[in-house]
Amino acid sequence: MKVYALITCLGFFLGLCSYNQQTVDANDRYVTDQTSSGEESVYASLPEAEYASGYDISFENASYGLVSVFYNSTSDKKKKLVVEKDDDKYIYNVFNDVNYVNYPLQLGNGYYKVSLYINTTGTKYKKLKTKTYNVQLEEENIVYLQSILEIQWTFEDKSIELAGMLIDQAMDKKREEEGIDEVELTLEDINEALYQFVIDTIEYDYDKIKGLDFSYVPNNDETIRTETGICYDYSALYAAMLRSQGIPVKMAKGYAKDSDVYHAWNEVYITEEERWVVVDTTSDAYMNRRGYPFEYEKEVSDYNKLKEF
């Protein structure tokens, strides 16, 4: 018999939310030699904002699977970003920021149209700017390594530094088990160390959801500090930790089987097998704390994915 966690995530997380800007210092990165490409260049940095106010759409990091958007003004009107490719469309909230914000181009190679809108009255919006670009990715899954609106991380974050320490501990454990000093961790070893930390440490916060609105976005360091979170926090933390180690990870949103509650989970790329596996750390943490049996890899048919980031 399958036991499903009580997951109380609200439908307003269907849209993207606010962004507390953080930048990546290209000279201060924690990247192990286990990364998918073996090079630091798999990570993009934000474009430099040329003006203190105004708006812009930049494809400077398009080869990394990113479009960067700058919007900063005194207006408190709602802003939307619409990303289109072929018949697919993603709509994001945009908030004032003094820096560019990265959004994913996760629909593969080809022509994208990106438009920035501002609310005028009611549900009506005026187009401010549109750009089109023929995106050609450096690597097929490179977008799933980046820091984006939904999954914010830098190498200076406490959560990412913790990921490095967890991997060091895994190395020490492997040295002890094998009785030799020179050992290497596989991508599976790294994944296991970070996954186990998340499901062992983070506890579901049933009260948190009551005080949130559409502007909420996970703060991984805060999740680490409180050791609590909702499904959105679980999936963002797990994705950020793995991405920082060169392991492609998606955040997926939709519905779990037998549930009508909007939910967030992950898909992790298994390099050796060249396939994605469904991972639900929220559910696994619930099962783990109660001593119920569960599997790391979930059945794809048990989830109805509507969006991926």
Average pLDDT over residues 3-9: 39
Specify whether the CB–CB gap between 126 and 117 falls below 8 A.
yes
**Cα–Cα dist 182/176, whole Å:** 11
Specify whether the CB–CB gap between 167 and 185 falls below 8 A.
yes
Q: Which of 42-46, 57-61, 233-237 has the weakest average pLDDT?
A: 42-46
Is the CA virtual torsion 84, 20, 304, 11 positive or negative?
Answer: negative
H helix runs in 179-292, sequence order: 187-201, 220-226, 231-243, 281-290
Average pLDDT over residues 195-222: 92
Q: How far is CA 257 from CA 18, 183, 298, 305, in A?
A: 29, 41, 11, 11
Per-residue pLDDT band for 304 (boundaries 50, 70, 90) equals very high
Per-residue pLDDT at 41? 65
Specify whether the CB–CB gap between 181 and 192 falls below 8 A.
no
Residue 196, pLDDT above cutoff 60: yes
**Cα–Cα dist 84/25, whole Å:** 30
Average pLDDT over residues 165-192: 91
**Cα–Cα dist 183/174, whole Å:** 7
**Cα–Cα dist 253/264, whole Å:** 4
Q: Which of 36-50, 175-189, 287-301 has the weakest average pLDDT?
A: 36-50
Per-residue pLDDT band for 292 (boundaries 50, 70, 90) equals very high
Residue 194, pLDDT above cutoff 50: yes
Average pLDDT over residues 270-280: 95
How many Å from the N-terminal Cα to the C-terminal Cα in the chain? 31
Residue 132, pLDDT above cutoff 80: yes
Number of C-alpha atoms within 13 angstroms, CB side, residue 261?
A: 15
Average pLDDT over residues 126-155: 96
Per-residue pLDDT band for 126 (boundaries 50, 70, 90) equals very high
Per-residue pLDDT band for 214 (boundaries 50, 70, 90) equals confident
Per-residue pLDDT band for 86 (boundaries 50, 70, 90) equals very high
Residue with tokens 């899954």: 141
Which one is predicted more confidently, 271 or 10? 271
Per-residue pLDDT band for 52 (boundaries 50, 70, 90) equals confident
Average pLDDT over residues 252-267: 94
**Cα–Cα dist 280/7, whole Å:** 11
Q: Which amino acid is at 95?
A: F
Per-residue pLDDT at 40? 52
Provide Rg for the chain, Cα atoms.
19
